[in-house]
Structure 1
């Protein structure tokens, strides 16, 4: 049934773009030219995600039979192994890379052409841009939504959240407190643990200002977000501590009625959620402004030859914008994430038609674009390590109102040193 839905969506997408679909994958056969070269493609993921990517590669090879793609599935320590291969002169021709990691890798990639008009979300179109230059072609969006147990809201005398309009952050906190009850091992929580970085953005804060020149996580919004996270895990709070859920699957807690809401719910969980009773469970927008969105892109190795580069450009363009690839991103068994082109959204939603997958799409459209910051990974790692060691967001006990301004000053010093 899913294959029928996907095929139908491909046909619609082809008609909409006036492209001639002349094979059963829905791909538009391309002219790769006489100098096509074999390429290698590195990526990460679970067994199911690997199967999805291989099906997309197969669709490409059917549309471009003169280009052979050698998949390189790296099952663990992906970025470390990718960095090692680059340093050793054995970089894959094409590598999947998250926008959050791209600032650490872009010097190993060639600039690429990104047609912003091909994508329905400005945040997606900008995801592969570093300091004004595009180094990765958008491939898949990984927006976040919230899974909820509607019966918990009913029992607390609250209306179930809307599938389209997000709760306000204060409204969410009040509801989570009201849905929390009991004590000890029988306690029911209104929410699974909150992620500080996500809640910071949802509640109106940010790590940096709009142009990435100032650190802002220690301002009033940052302190407010930190206090909410800290208060949520107090003995009378509305979320379990990180220690309480360590090594456990909070999705199972939702199924068992131990938590009423599961924020930070990613699209890779779609298959598990689709198996739940839609009369009881629903997907709704994240509260407030929503959480940061990851966008995985495809970078082309700077060391690639001219012939390899030409093949790689054909491959990345196909994976990024062709319905024959984008329609395969989500199935009833696995989901890499949300398509980045409009024509493939019907196929995405058909993977779990009762699960309101439109919430993921809406989150992609609403996503806030974060600025490029040089040395971003080291700066944010230093901040997060200190925040977790000093406050109850992690293992510490200090007041966020004291800690955050200090950490913001440290962040600013590190940021200024990069100029």
Structure 2
């Protein structure tokens, strides 16, 4: 949803043994008691993603004919429109929200119960937690991998990366440098531009310490990450500048041989990637510790009535953990992301059997969790804007070694002010 991208509350009993409780579609059957409830569900996405979500809603309604779900597909400015509807007293019963944006929305949601044992990744299970309380149940994971052109590696005499073992960050840089050649319009690069936030995590850094009480992006790891990003875009560097690629399709550059590696490759590109020559193009793990993972969850808004809340709990449980829904997250034409329950991973990988989709699954399994930080969106937006304007991570010219400690101090002041 942003990058510019729950556990089920009422599933005791059947969730422990889906095979015993499900009907012939694999969906957990409802028990209406003769009553019917209407709920609404707000979400974002492309045309293909909208079709996928509608198919999941249809599977739910088939399993629970006593509950009608009205899809509310918001095609643009999702968060702004969702915020407006909440403020105006017209909130949907259930809303999809990214864990990266949840700190700005959780006050509009009711607490939910999340059973961490339902999910194969602890980062997924904790994604909807704000200050010790769960406000969303996991719906879909959006991990990142590295897409590579093996022909570029062979030509440069560089070993092709493993599909299971990530390169170290230094191995990535060395390979990218060796695969960069030419000049002007004929120049080919070892990598597409690096994303600072992603590279920071991959190279061992972080925005905050483990409990979210201290800003840490200005320490040695943060400075090192920024220097790598800046150096990669200098004349003679291994990546084009962000200005040079503005409006350009980096996936197209990969297929044309203009870049050898495409970091930050998300699962929504699976169908497009599967159409390529898989003997030449491969998916492998992101270097180092990998990149930050977005987890989209489902929250039940506070305006929901008692009957709607009960129905919404059934709906979010189904979407979060029932294979009848989770198996539909990826197909040959579209992929919302990676399933959050283990039983649906085979269906996910079957969407593109010749592609190493296990790399996405491994990235979910080993994802590094991030702590809850109050005013996280404002703090990180302020930091990113300043970093981009002052250093060559963006359009500036100052030395990251000077700028980052200053920005860390500002971050700490903003963080302390929330206490």
Do both share a fold (TM > 0.5)? yes
Alignment of structure 1 residues 149-168 onto 2, 5 Å: 149-168=149-168
Match of 2:292? 292
Could you tell me how far apart the structure 1 residues matched to 2:42 and 2:93 are? 8
Please tell me whether the aligned partners of residues 268 and 334 of structure 1 are also in contact (alpha carbons under 8 angstroms): yes
Please tell me whether the aligned partners of residues 223 and 400 of structure 2 are also in contact (alpha carbons under 8 angstroms): yes
Please tell me whether the aligned partners of residues 282 and 356 of structure 1 are also in contact (alpha carbons under 8 angstroms): yes
Match of 2:350? 350
Please tell me whether the aligned partners of residues 137 and 320 of structure 1 are also in contact (alpha carbons under 8 angstroms): yes
Could you tell me how far apart the structure 1 residues matched to 2:33 and 2:271 are? 40
Match of 2:10? none
Alignment of structure 1 residues 307-322 onto 2, 5 Å: 307-322=307-322
**CA pair 239-75 structure 1, distance change in 2 beyond 3 A:** same
Please state whether the residue corresponding to 1:68 is helix, strand or coil: strand
User: What RMSD, in angstroms, separates the aligned Cα atoms of the two structures?
Assistant: 1.3
Match of 1:100? 100
Match of 1:337? 337
Q: TM-score scaled by structure 2? A: 0.95
Could you tell me how far apart the structure 2 residues matched to 1:33 and 1:383 are? 53
Alignment of structure 1 residues 257-268 onto 2, 5 Å: 257-268=257-268
Check if 1:127 corresponds to 2:157.
no
**CA pair 15-42 structure 1, distance change in 2 beyond 3 A:** closer
How far did residue 16 of structure 1 move? 7.3
Q: TM-score scaled by structure 1? A: 0.95
How far did residue 54 of structure 1 move? 0.2
Please tell me whether the aligned partners of residues 99 and 127 of structure 1 are also in contact (alpha carbons under 8 angstroms): yes
Could you tell me how far apart the structure 2 residues matched to 1:176 and 1:120 are? 33
Please tell me whether the aligned partners of residues 36 and 310 of structure 1 are also in contact (alpha carbons under 8 angstroms): no
Match of 1:304? 304
Match of 1:87? 87
Check if 1:21 corresponds to 2:36.
no
Could you tell me how far apart the structure 1 residues matched to 2:33 and 2:301 are? 20
Could you tell me how far apart the structure 2 residues matched to 1:106 and 1:115 are? 19
Please tell me whether the aligned partners of residues 131 and 372 of structure 2 are also in contact (alpha carbons under 8 angstroms): yes
Please tell me whether the aligned partners of residues 141 and 293 of structure 1 are also in contact (alpha carbons under 8 angstroms): yes
How far did residue 188 of structure 1 move? 0.3
Could you tell me how far apart the structure 2 residues matched to 1:259 and 1:280 are? 13
Match of 2:143? 143
Please state whether the residue corresponding to 1:337 is helix, strand or coil: coil
How far did residue 115 of structure 1 move? 1.0
Q: Unpaired runs of 5+ in structure 1?
A: 1-12
Could you tell me how far apart the structure 1 residues matched to 2:339 and 2:172 are? 29
Could you tell me how far apart the structure 2 residues matched to 1:396 and 1:134 are? 40
Please state whether the residue corresponding to 1:356 is helix, strand or coil: coil
Please state whether the residue corresponding to 1:71 is helix, strand or coil: strand
Q: Unpaired runs of 5+ in structure 2?
A: 1-13
Please tell me whether the aligned partners of residues 36 and 311 of structure 1 are also in contact (alpha carbons under 8 angstroms): no
Could you tell me how far apart the structure 2 residues matched to 1:63 and 1:135 are? 25
**CA pair 91-276 structure 1, distance change in 2 beyond 3 A:** same
**CA pair 200-171 structure 1, distance change in 2 beyond 3 A:** same
- 1:260-315 CA-to-partner distances (Å, cap 9, x unmatched) read 00000000000000000011000000000000000000000111000000000000
Match of 1:280? 280
**CA pair 14-332 structure 1, distance change in 2 beyond 3 A:** farther
